[in-house]
Structure 1
Amino acid sequence: MTPTTRVVAIDLGASSGRVISVRVGPGILEAVEEHRFPNEPVTVAGTMHWDVLRLMHGIEHGLRRARLAGPVDAIAIDSWAVDYGLLGADGRLLGNPVHYRDDRTVGILERLGSELDAAAVYRTTGLQQQRFNTLGQLTASRGSAQLAAARRLLMIPDLLAYWLTGVESAEVTNASTTQLFDATRRAWDPELVAHLGLPLELFPVAVEPGTVIGGVLPDVARRTGIDPGTPVVAVGSHDTASAVVGVPAQNPDFAYISCGTWSLVGLELDAPVLTDASREANATNELGVDGTVRYLRNTMGLWMLQECQRHWASRGESVPLDELLGRAGAEPVATWLVDADDEQFLAPGDMPGRIARAAGEHGPVPQTPAQVVRCILDSLALAYRRSIARLQELSGREVRVVHVVGGGSQNALLCQLTADACRLPVVAGPTEAAALGNALVQARALGAIAGGLPELRALLASTQPLRFHQPGGDPHVWADAADRLHAPRNPHRTTTQKVRLT
């Protein structure tokens, strides 16, 4: 019997968390979902927070279930980026972490623009300007009592790993999303930290994926049944970094779309692209596993669809997603369009209404939920097309295939529209790419498998179900749609039409 290692991948997304046990060995990659739990923000006194204690509860429940099913050889955590927790002098958390969608950072880019040289910051960090980057959040929090009392800042996966092990660390792929991290040196930048008036000691030692952070603490072991001292491994703790490891690419000429609440559209490079043209295109350089760089752009993603579903459900007008997608697939291509990168779609609220108003600035207004869904998917496909084309120009890398991973890979309509819009073949899957990438890095750290990213991806390609989409339809339709979407808006065009359910 082929020897295998059983690891637990804890994968936290912006809307849910998953605890997945994965059996890994030569020619073997088998995943079992042990526990799934919601990740819902909580707004208190006007501030949106992450319920991080509830997340820890879900993690420990998942670990108990995983241990009941068999021995656990290692554990690792990946999550979303930019958000953090602050520890006081006694090592305890100073309040619940604030959600990146909170409006405390509204207008922060203008403030940063007056304080910092944007070109110099980009040459150091390689990060696109986004108001919710950790730099922006800390700027908005300057002078706060919590920040003044903080001894240590830990990114979300590092905070949870600290509660498992008692060890403070900063895994580089998530640290690189802060806009405080040097993308070339793979270390905290002292000048940017000093600009915030913060001590460099607030930020823990940076570690690379594959590092064993520490062992499970005795009190965690008692609550979960996990053996004390079980290794907790640093993987690509930014979920996109693990998802990119989980791309089953067979050659380097690929683009990836890590598609969930957000869509991260990018290329894998050996070095960051820190040119002025890259900065002006708002492309970002986030660090990856094995010294790689994830050169990408953020697009709003399926958040728009999720928020529409919540809105319709709150009005008693919910329709099963499969039925909505079936109706949307019957609607004409590229008729209703919005700019999926527009910041107006960032906050929760009446998403169908915002989509209708934005579509009215470019052309027809979607009238039914099916038309709203088709508008979202066509607009996402166009955003992917635009990002992939621009990233190729800026990096000099040619793309021959697009890999869609994550929850969005199950959306066959979106995958086909992406192939049609990009005029490239699309490979869809695996759905749990982040958890699988997480598990592969753990297993390699334990010596259960060997090799670089090509060998890890070959194992994925040989063991995971994949779906293939070839480009079809009229390419001129998508070119015309792109031109229409980015033509000057009509300031006199308004709409008071309401989206209805039919």
Structure 2
Amino acid sequence: MSTDTYLAIDLGATSGRVILGRVGERSVRTATVARFANEPLAWPDGLHWNLPAIYRGVLDGIRQAVADAGEVRGIGVDSWGVDYGLVGPGGRLLGLPYHYRDARTRGLAAELDEAALYRRTGVPNQEINTLTQLVAEQRAGTLDPSARLGFVADLLAHLLTGRLAAERTLASTSQLFDPAGHWSDEAIAAHGLPRALFPDPLGPGDVVGELRAGVVDELGLDAPVPVTAVAAHDTASAVAAIPAAGPGFAYVSCGTWALVGVEVDRPIRTEASRVAGFTNELGAGGAVRYQKNVTALWILSECLRAWSHGGERPDLTELLAAAAEQPGYVSLVDPDAPELTRPGDMPAKVARFCRRTGQPVPVTRAQIVRCVVDSLALAFAHYADQAGRLSGSPADVVHLVGGGANNTLLCRLTADAAGRPVVAGPAEATALGNLLVQARGGRTAGELAAVRALSAASSPTVRYEPRADPAVAAARERFAALLGAAA
């Protein structure tokens, strides 16, 4: 059976990877050929992404992939959303992109007219949003009127091809893009931003261009390779690869962040939706991802960092096994409480939250991990139910993809809390979605169905049935009461 070879460049908040995909008629085989660290830079003016280092890691990964595979049919780039860089005349990068955790936007989102913005874009106010970051730059006098904006994956595609465009799934995270598929001129004008800042949008499956001559020469390639605008927001790529045969599912794309929601045909921009904090972001095949952002595995990562001494990092698998032996739902936290979304001594922050809300205070590592995992499972169930109610699209099953699919305790507790089966996997959904949109397209619902069928044929999954646990109902009520219990 013949296969075609594609490359997925998957950029995450802590690392980047280059994944080789051999796509056949009935299956796809993947292999990670390169991995590189993505470490932010703390400069005097704030926290930035080291884009030159990312670009170097990408080039090295492409070189290795071509050495391993020979001919490559295409390349796609995905990344996290909201963050951007500015490109000046002649394609020159104007400084390094700011990190979404940079403090320059602190308190600024509350000044923006959320109700008007939600009607226009379907995205609620957050300090990390592109709009909030641009307003901060505008007020600081650092926004170059001659510049054009590129999201992180778009910047990499620009460096590879020489063409700067705005991929729609990324643009839809900005709070400046109408989920009908175009920039919101009203939102842009309302904040005094130059319209020329925003490049023409492309959709999943559109070709950005071919590798520019300088890249072809540097990598020693025989011919240029096309670069495709995949569903370039990493969550959009992950959701594209959900192995579902039809509608009627909720999803949890779980990594550093979790995105919990459902797919709908059109954006939900009601007042109830805005108050609940749901966002409308675009996906492959013309779908709208109606979802809630939840701080997720980052909380566990910060706990591990706090417990690391002398270069020794605790083993998460062992901690999860110990946590599974602890009684459940003793103490709960709101994963999106402001103090839990910022770097620091996370175990101490979890303990303070529990103390402040009148709960037993977890002391041991196993107790803290159990508290966090219980809380994440309850959050996933809560927001999956809420997405179904607000959209009129209730779900019979929850698909959990991304790194969280490897966390057996989290998957099992999510099924218990949701009262519905959880289908876990693929863990590499983002890379699969990237590769398969290149190979099968992502413009139409039919193309998306083909992507999902091939993902289902290629990806082992684990199904977790909900267990009868009388403590779940009370735990869900307690969790709902904790939401918004900010410090």
Structure 2 distance, partners of 1:446, 1:486, is: 37
Q: Check conservation: 2:385, 2:394, Cα contact below 8 A.
A: no
Q: Show the 5 A alignment for 1:119-134.
A: 119-134=115-130
Match runs of 1:4-403 below 5 Å: 4-45=3-44, 47-69=46-68, 70-112=70-112, 116=113, 118-148=114-144, 150-184=146-180, 186-314=181-309, 318-360=313-355, 361-403=357-399
462, 471, 477: which one aligns with 1:477: 471
- Measured in 2, the distance between the counterparts of 1:111 and 1:271 equals 28
How far apart, CA to CA, are the structure 2 residues paired with 1:355 and 1:66? 43
SS of residue in 2 equivalent to 1:131: coil
* 1:442 alignment counterpart: 438
Contact 1:138 1:196 in 2 (8 A): no
Q: Does 1:455 align with 2:453?
A: no
Alpha-carbon offset, residue 170 of structure 1: 0.4
Q: Distance in 2 between matches of 1:193 and 1:131?
A: 17
> Is residue 86–residue 146 contact of structure 1 (8 Å, CA) maintained in 2?
no
After superposition, the C-alpha distances for 1:313-344 in whole angstroms (9 at most, x for unaligned) are 14767321111111111111111210112222
* 8 A contact 1:217–1:228 mirrored in 2: no
Separation of aligned partners in 1, 2:455 and 2:476: 34
- TM-score (ref. length: structure 2): 0.95
* Count of residue pairs brought into register by the alignment: 483
Which is further off, 400-409 or 40-49? 40-49
Q: Deviations over 1:128-166 (max 9, x none)?
A: 221110011111111445412542110111000000000
Whole-angstrom CA distance in 1 between matches of 2:121 and 2:19: 33
Q: How many Å separate the matches in 2 of 1:414 and 1:352?
A: 18
> Tell me, what secondary structure is at the counterpart of 1:142?
helix
Q: Secondary structure at the match of 2:308?
A: helix
Deviation at 1:109, TM superposition (A): 1.9
Where 1:148 maps in the other structure, the secondary structure is coil
Q: Output the CA distance in 2 between the equivalents of 1:91 and 1:463.
A: 40
Q: How big is the shift at 1:451?
A: 4.4
- What is the rounded CA distance, in whole Å, between the counterparts of 2:173 and 2:438 in structure 1? 22
Deviations 1:62-107 (A, max 9, x none): 1011000121110010000000001122321111111001111110
Q: How far apart are 1:411 and its partner, in Å?
A: 0.6
Partner-residue secondary structure (3-state), 1:132 = coil
2:243 and 2:453 in contact (8 A); partners too: yes
TM-score normalised according to structure 1 size: 0.93
Alpha-carbon RMSD: 2.0
Identity %: 49
Change in CA separation of 1:335 and 1:226 when aligned onto 2, cut-off 3 Å: farther
Structure 1 letter corresponding to 2:110? E
Q: Structure 1 residues 248-257 or 144-153, which shifts more? A: 144-153
Runs of at least 4 residues of structure 1 off by over 3 A?
143-146, 225-228, 314-318, 485-489
- Hey, what's the Cα distance between the residues in 2 that align with 1:227 and 1:295? 43
Moved more, 318-327 or 405-414: 318-327
- Distance in 2 of aligned mates of 1:222 and 1:414: 47
What code does the residue aligned with 2:7 have? V
- Note the residue ranges of structure 2 that are not aligned, 5 or more in a row: none
Could you say if the C-alpha distance between residues 159 and 8 of structure 1 is closer, same or farther in structure 2, counting changes exceeding 3 Å? same
> d(CA) in 1 for partners of 2:262 and 2:304?
31
Structure 1 position 488, deviation (Å): 7.0
Is this contact kept in 2: 1:216–1:227, CA < 8 A? no
C-alpha distance in structure 1 between counterparts of 2:197 and 2:4, whole Å: 36
Give the secondary structure class of the aligned counterpart of 1:338.
Answer: coil
Separation in structure 2 between the aligned mates of residue 227 and residue 310 of structure 1, nearest angstrom? 45
What is the CA–CA distance in structure 2 between the aligned matches of 1:3 and 1:427, rounded to whole Å? 30
**Aligned-residue offset at 1:230:** 0.8
Alignment partners' CA distance in 2, 1:202 and 1:332: 53
Q: Measure the CA separation in 2 of the matches of 1:288 and 1:40.
A: 28
SS at match of 1:23: strand
The residue number in structure 2 matching 1:497 is none
